[in-house]
Structure 1
Amino acid sequence: MINDYKINITAHAGCMDTRMDSIESIEAGIEFGADIIEIDLNVDKDNNLILSHDIPKEEIEYPKFKMVLEMMKNQKDILLNADVKNPVMLRWLKNVISEYESLDRVFLTGLTLQDIISNKEFLNGLHYFVNIGISDLENIKLEKLLNELEILNVLGININHGLATSELIAACKERKMITSVWTVDDEEDMKKIIGFNVNSITTKRLDVLKNKISEMQIEIME
């Protein structure tokens, strides 16, 4: 699914100064050559899957998830990262993705360890990361944490750039777990995270990150 031989660029759900969770943001991600498009996936009062980071408001019409899946049909080389904001949707999410024959091109983030444990039956057949927070890193030894993740069959970890360390990334790679880091918009932060050799970096500044990766790869080759 995810190319683990390079650093994949993930377009944030509000990349390149576009409105959050908008069709324009997805189009910008495609235009600027992102490997992965991120969307915030939520559910409204009628159980429709929609794009919204926050709790949906009845008076607002949100883009529908099915519209995005239809858009991505023609983008065969781009993956879709659905950041789950309400785990209740997991009960029927697989069916919706299957309807568009996109199970191999959509993966989930936003899920905690407990979300995965509580919804294991609904996640069968889906690709998903576990979101790692500061409490996970503080309360559990790294080796024990990674052992638990292997049992849960996750693709890997999704972590805020402020919590990512070279030790954590290296330990995940040893176990062949994919590492995804968000949201990296500052150039110095980009340089640090690129240096960790992670598998995916989520950013709003696609053009800056693309150039920074190229610059650093050239430096390594020289």
Structure 2
Amino acid sequence: MGVIILKKTLITAHAGCMNTPPNSIHSVLEGLKAGADIIEVDIRSTKDGVVILLHDEEVMTPRGMRRVQDLLFEELKHLAKCNEIIRLEEVLPIVKEYHRVINLDVKEDKAIDPMIEIVEKHNMRDYTIITGCDKERAFQLKKRHRPYQVLLNASVRLYETYKGDYESFIKETCQDAIAASCCGININYHLCREELIDYAMFRCLPVLVWTIDDSHAMERFLGMGVHSITSNEVSTLVELRDQQYIS
């Protein structure tokens, strides 16, 4: 008889999963078709306030590197011909059609308010989680947009500050999440240990890890009972998750 897993770990498709271009319609669709529960996209806004899916602060153009925030949307699309520049409005209906959740990984503060407006326009609040937030960004976001689910991004700097004192790192991370009214903790899987998962669980803070593409690491964190695993290899993770889960 196998081990009984009582809680099914959610699977988050990383932007650019399944060997697709990051932050593309193709990436979103492939993640959904592969069985992801959550679709992650990166959020920025252009000079004229258009909310787009883009990870990097700068893009390569024929004139060299240009900051996204200095370009109008149409200008950005024209200059960055090699890249597919997608508006957030284009992907929300797709995720909604599949009845899945979208993870909006915020890359800059100025994108937050227009991003929220678009989510509200599409009635997607209940299908949205927001990541990319240190404790200050999370606090300010929850202050202005209280109904939204926001995850605290665990601080690498805090981890390095405590070095050999993992217990203090755990306690301060959970305290920061609670103080900012976050609904959970989003953490690089290299920094995540079972002690954090257990400590956070008793404070009703689910732990979500990113980004795991190695099958052995997938199995290990599935066994640890994390709330979600972000991966580029969605199909592999779905298969491993379903093997471990007994309904």
SS at match of 1:104: helix
Matches within 5 A, 1:35-184: 35-57=37-59, 58=76, 59-60=79-80, 62-76=85-99, 78-139=100-161, 141=168, 142-184=170-212
Alignment CA distance shift 1:6-1:216 (3 Å): closer
Which ranges of structure 2 fall in alignment gaps of 5 or more residues? 1-5, 60-75, 163-167
The normalised TM-score by structure 1 is 0.89
- The separation in 2 between residues aligned to 1:169 and 1:139, in whole angstroms, is 20
Separation (CA, whole Å) in 1 of partners of 2:143 and 2:10: 29
Distance 1:161 1:74 in 2: 30
* Alignment check: 8 A CA contact 1:90 1:122 kept: no
Structure 1 residue 209 and structure 2 residue 211: aligned? Answer: no
The amino acid that maps onto 2:174 is: L
Tell me which structure has the larger Cα radius of gyration: 2
Q: Where does structure 1 lack aligned partners over 5 or more consecutive residues?
A: none
TM-score (norm 2): 0.81
SS in 2 for 1:130: strand
Across the aligned residues of Structure 1 and Structure 2, the Cα RMSD in angstroms comes to 2.0
SS at match of 1:101: coil
For residue 41 of structure 1, give the secondary structure of its aligned residue in structure 2: strand
1:144-194, Cα deviation, whole Å (9 max, x unpaired): 431232121111011111111000011111111121111100112112211
Between the two proteins, what is the percent identity of the paired residues?
A: 30
Q: CA contact under 8 A between 1:8 and 1:35: conserved in structure 2?
A: yes
Residues 1:29 and 2:31 are matched in the alignment = yes
Q: CA separation in 1, counterparts of 2:132 and 2:225?
A: 22
